[in-house]
Amino acid sequence: MPHTIPILLVLLLSLSTVPAFAGDAKPVVIKFCGGPKGLSYERLPNTLRPIIDGFGLGFTLETVETKGGEENVEKVAKGECDFGIAPNKLAHKRQLPIDGTVFHSYPHLVCNQERTKGAKEIGDLLDQGRKIQVAVGDIGSASKIVWDSLAELDSDFGADHFVTMPLGFTKAVPLVMNGKFDCAWTVSGIGSPALKAADYPGSSKVLRLVQVNDGDFNDDDYDFFVIPSNAYPNLQAGWFKDVKTIDVPVVLFHRRGLENDQPVAYGAIFGEAMRVGPDLFKE
């Protein structure tokens, strides 16, 4: 009975929202800010669209392509989108109504062992005698947003010790392998395609998954998480323990007033997003 709760909610809401002149009603389009085309943030609205169409509730769900979490928050705050997903810190910062956690993502820091003197923990990068070059993700991406927020929590990871470049993880890993960058950073689920590609046989000779375990990173929006020792056999080669990192919840949120303006659409999309989201992003 996977659809029972969302459908009951919709039916209850619809009893009080029957239009007086249904023939005069304009088509209702609900806009869901997703993310860059083909990447994970776009998966949720694209998955929801055919489900919502199948309900036949009199509205259409439209996916809006964006650069990621930061743009999603901005567009929903301005009313240009009705729903969006982003790291919880961003939604909290703009005081947007949060519906719940859709999935969990985790910072992964992969470094060139030779260039970083075999660094095992992020704190080891502070003892290199030079600034460390880290590709932190594209502008507006969750990866860059989370790196910037951690630098705010602990200034040691700011401009005094690091040179950051807005470059995505997939493009950055070959540069780290070739010794042109020190490290590549991404925030993703465990075993994401990008991490699987970096965890190929032989990568252990050059790359290491470094612990993101600085105590100053812990705040109300983040908890620590342990990446199992067998998650990345090559990037974790030689380790006899799990690798500590941070849990970054990605939340569903909506524009203020949506639940009153479009209660049926709000109930259906919210209910289905919370139903399918966790399984959709399960690695």
Q: What pLDDT, in 10s, does the model give residues 153-190?
A: 899 999 999 999 999 999 999 999 999 999 999 998 88
Which class does domain 104-249 fall in? alpha beta
Give the pLDDT score at 40: 77
* pLDDT at residue 126 greater than cutoff 90: yes
Gap between the Cα atoms of 176 and 114, Å rounded: 10
One-letter amino acid at 104 equals H
* pLDDT at residue 193 greater than cutoff 80: yes
Q: Which residue has the tokens 């669209």?
A: 49
* pLDDT at residue 19 greater than cutoff 70: no
* Residues 93 and 159: beta-carbon distance below 8 Å: no
Domains of the chain, by residue range, sit at 4-97+255-280, 104-249
Closest CA to 239 of 227, 256, 255: 227
Give the pLDDT score at 10: 45
Concatenating the DSSP letter of every residue in the chain gives -TTHHHHHHHHHHHTT---S-GGGPPPEEEEEE--STTSHHHHHHHHHHHHHHHHT-SEEEEEE--SSHHHHHHHHHHTS-SEEEEEHHHHHHTTPPEEEEEEEEEEEEEEETTTTTT--BGGGGGGSSSPEEEE--STTSHHHHHHHHHHHH-GGGSTTTEEEE---HHHHHHHHHTTSSSEEEEEE-TT-HHHHHHS-TTGGGTEEEEB---GGG-BTTBEEEEE-TTSSTTTTTT--S-EEEEEEEEEEEE-TTHHHHSHHHHHHHHHHHHHHHHHHT--
* pLDDT at residue 66 greater than cutoff 70: yes
One-letter amino acid at 12 equals L
Can you read off the two tokens belonging to residue 256? 């203020």
Can you read off the two tokens belonging to residue 186? 């991404």
Average pLDDT value for residue range 32-59: 90
Average pLDDT value for residue range 113-125: 95
Q: Is pLDDT larger for residue 70 or for residue 15?
A: 70
Q: Mean pLDDT score of the chain, rounded to an integer?
A: 88
Give the pLDDT score at 282: 63
Tens digit of each residue's pLDDT (9 = 90 or more) over 214-271: 887 877 778 899 999 889 999 998 866 799 999 999 999 999 999 999 999 999 999 9
Q: Which residue has the tokens 């470059």?
A: 167
Q: Which of 85-89, 133-137, 223-227 has the highest mean pLDDT?
A: 133-137
Fold entry, domain 4-97+255-280 = D-Maltodextrin-Binding Protein; domain 2 (3.40.190)
In CATH terms, are 4-97+255-280 and 104-249 the same topology? Answer: yes
**pTM > 0.95:** no
Average pLDDT value for residue range 68-92: 94
* pLDDT at residue 21 greater than cutoff 50: no
